[in-house]
Structure 1
Amino acid sequence: MKNKVMIFLTVIVGILVVGCNNQDDKAFEVPFDGTMDHVHGLGYAGNDDGLYFASHTGLKIYRDGNWFETSKNFNDYMGFAAVDKGFYSSGHPGTDTNLPNPIGLQRSFNGGKTLEKIDFEGESDFHVMAVGYNSHDVILLNEQKNSKLGVGIYLSEDSGDSWTEVTASGLDGDILSFSIHPSNSEYIAAATNSGVYLSSNKGEYFTLISKRGAVGSAVFFNEENLYFASYDTNPIFEKYKIDNDETEKMNLPELYDDGPVFITQNPKDTKQLAIYTIKGQAYVSSDYSETWEQILFDNGIQ
């Protein structure tokens, strides 16, 4: 009888703990109905089905047709990269945190409830950065010298413990964004104001893969493909197949003097794509870009 009582109590305690955790999760995320400023990243972070927007005032999340925001940690996430366990970020602290300014390179594996310092706190703010979704290898542009890195492009293959400067021969123009392959860091892509460039040797040399003269605006890798956007007279959305160098046109919603600056894909459902545009519009597609649903209008919820 005593053993049965102990088992019963153990089960009850477990239920209470799970219940408390669920309440904590709900308390951290609250409904969002407003406008977000300065979106600097987009992605499906961790095992969560939510689409995360990194904004000037913290994280905004679109999940199952509903919008949420965090109830604390209103950090200005200037750099943001979703990974399989959560996200990596850089930027500036929110007024409700005691993080140094700038926050350097940080990561969170619990949806942004807490941030774990990697390096460069109080030194650097990395606007242009990308992280391998599975590898957690980091590629970043360091625009101002700090205690470890000079000005330039750097790659870390150990989640930020050590860094190697990248030669980046052939890469032309001002870098707007990076993407790094989820698991094979030989492949790095860059969008610049001179086009979209691809490297297959860890950034040692880059080759132009977009239309010459078009401005590169967004890059995103999955395991097989590089998705990229560029802008000539109109926005262009394309898929580049890594194994055979073939390029395929993708569909876009109707965009007027606008184009994607962020592209992402749901790793659990590869037909589900999302984009965020220069003018603050966001769209999701559940059929691999055949049709698009607008979910953000001039950075606001409708």
Structure 2
Amino acid sequence: MNNKAFVAILAVGLLLTACSSSNEIKESQEMDDNYNIEHVHGLAYSSDNSIYIATHEGLIVSSNEGEKWKFAGDADLDLMGFHIQSDGTMLTSGHPGENSDLPDPVGLLESKDNGKNWESIALKGEVDFHLLTSNESNPATIYGVIQMESGNFESGIYKSIDKGISWDKLGVSGLPKDLHEIYALVSLSNNENVLIAGTSEGVFRSEDGGQTWKIADENRIITAISAVPNSKELISYSITEEEAGMMKSEDNGLTWEKISLDLGKDAVAYFAVQPNQTNKMVAVTFENNLLISSDNGLNWREVMEGGKLKN
């Protein structure tokens, strides 16, 4: 597909996954078959083999690879920027639900018990990060993207080196002016100062911790990117004029090899990899399809179609 045409389709998908009010939460009860998930804003595959999906209605979890699902806790949250760190800490931003006493936006929250309880870390009532990522080797280093001005915080990429307690705004020189056009962001596990951003204008790279950016590949769109734990590998959903699909890089994102999963007019929004069994991975698409692989991404099994769970 022509890259410009795909960007237009992707823009519609991103608009549909913008913030909206959440439904009333159901306290950790098992979900029925065909339970409908409207929007997904993050994905995680934990070391205990559980898969987590961050939604407008809260955090849901499957401990049996998609056969059954339930809410991970009773927190009434519209989770945005959801991210699980290499030490198992969960991070999220977003908005409170009707039954929450948190301010809007919630700032940065963390959970040490797999989403059962959340603690406010910083920026309460000030910031809504739509993207959060941290360095695998040094989880104290966290990057967050604010796509729209929020109170005293301008839109931009922000960095914390103390687990999210304090934040500094980075330069965005070279990146698209509209930060909604940043689809994915990753910090290289072997060098926390090297960042790769997938955008509507191509792939950008920073070698100085996000202060300055240069175009690395103007002919490639990356909609999702993830570091493979305990390795130097990256996986992405990558689109060029010639091909599209899940791709792997073994040279810090300089070159990519296609593995599988050409989704046509759809694309992967989030990848997650099981940290102790990296052959296992999960992907969710912009059309709300959830896919699971147990063979390094060669073959995929669908467990959610159009937001409807297949229990």
Q: Which category describes the TM-score, using the shorter chain as reference length?
A: 0.7 to 0.9
Count of equivalent residues: 272
The alpha-carbon distance between structure 1 residues 110 and 119, as it changes in their structure 2 partners (threshold 3 A), is same
2:15 corresponding residue in structure 1: none
Q: Does the 8 Å CA contact 1:129/1:177 hold for their aligned counterparts?
A: no
Call closer, same or farther: CA 1:180–1:137 in 2, change over 3 Å.
Answer: same
Which residue identity is paired with 1:155?
K
- Partner residue, 2:7: none
Question: Taking structure 1 as reference, are residues 206 and 112 closer, same or farther at Cα in structure 2, changes over 3 Å only?
Answer: same
* Distance (whole Å) between structure 2 residues aligned to residue 263 and residue 243 of structure 1: 17
Q: Which residue of 2 aligns with 1:60?
A: 60
Structure 1 residue corresponding to 2:258, chosen from 249, 258, 275: 249
Q: Deviations over 1:97-126 (max 9, x none)?
A: 221111111111111121111111112211
Residue by residue over 1:220-278, the C-alpha shift from the partner in whole angstroms, topping out at 9 and shown as x without a partner, is 123402222233466332222246944322211x5241111111111011111211111
Please report how far the alpha carbon of residue 286 of structure 1 lies from its aligned counterpart in structure 2 after TM superposition: 0.6
Separation in 2, partners of 1:182, 1:91: 26
Which residue, 125, 131, 137 being the options, matches 1:128?
A: 131
Partner of residue 14, structure 2: none
CA shift for structure 1 position 56: 0.6
CA contact (8 A) 1:82 1:88 kept: yes
Residue number in structure 1 paired with 2:18: none
- Residue in structure 2 matched with residue 113 of structure 1 by the alignment: 116
* Match in the other structure for 1:181: 188
Distance verdict in 2 for CA 1:153–1:216, change over 3 Å: same
Q: 2:234 aligns with which of 226, 233, 241?
A: 226
Higher mean Cα deviation, 169-178 or 115-124? Answer: 169-178
Matched letter for residue 167 of structure 1: G
For residues 75-94 of structure 1, what are the structure 2 equivalents within 5 Å? 75-83=77-85, 84-94=87-97
Q: Deviations over 1:167-214 (max 9, x none)?
A: 24433462122222347421222121112323332123334445x344
Q: Please name the residue that 1:3 is paired with.
A: none
From the superposition, tell whether residues 261 and 243 of structure 1 become closer, same or farther in structure 2 (CA, over 3 Å).
Answer: closer
Cα contact 1:29–1:68 (8 A) shared by 2: no
Kept in 1: contact 2:45–2:282 (CA 8 A): no
The 1-side partners of 2:107 and 2:168 are apart by 18
Note closer, same or farther for the CA distance 1:277–1:243 as it changes in structure 2 (3 Å cut): closer
> 2:281–2:296: 8 Å Cα contact kept in structure 1?
yes
CA spacing shift, 1:190–1:67, aligned 2, 3 Å: farther
TM-score (norm 1): 0.81
Structure 1 residue aligned with 2:30: 31
Q: Give the structure-2-normalised TM-score.
A: 0.79
- Looking at structure 1, the residues matched to 216 and 81 of structure 2 have their Cα atoms a distance apart, in angstroms, of 25
Deviates more, 1:283-292 or 1:129-138: 129-138
Q: Does the 8 A contact of 1:44 with 1:52 survive in 2?
A: yes
Q: Tell me the distance in 2 between the aligned counterparts of 1:80 and 1:158.
A: 18
Distance 1:269 1:28, change over 3 A: farther
CA distance in structure 2 between the aligned counterparts of 1:243 and 1:101, rounded to whole angstroms = 37
Aligned residue identity for 1:237: M
SS in 2 for 1:107: strand
Alpha-carbon distance in structure 2 between the residues aligned to 1:67 and 1:77: 21
Say which SS state the counterpart of residue 72 (structure 1) adopts.
Answer: coil
1:158 matched to 2:162: yes
Identify which of 143, 152, 166 aligns with 1:139: 143
Q: Which amino acid aligns with 2:76?
A: F
- In structure 2, distance between residues paired with 1:60 and 1:136: 26
Indicate if the aligned counterparts of 2:80 and 2:129 stay in contact, CA closer than 8 A.
yes
Which moved further from structure 2: 258-267 or 124-133?
124-133
- Structure 1 counterpart SS, 2:69: strand
**Residues 241 and 171 of structure 1: CA distance in aligned 2, closer, same or farther (over 3 Å):** farther
**Could you tell me which amino acid in structure 2 is paired with residue 79 of structure 1?**
G
1:278 matched to 2:289? The reply is: no
243-252 or 108-117: which moved more?
A: 243-252
1:108-152 per-residue CA deviation (whole Å, 9 max, x = no partner) reads 1111121111111112211122223451421112231444x4332
Task: Tell me the secondary structure at the aligned position of residue 197 of structure 1.
Answer: strand
Separation of aligned partners in 2, 1:32 and 1:165: 41
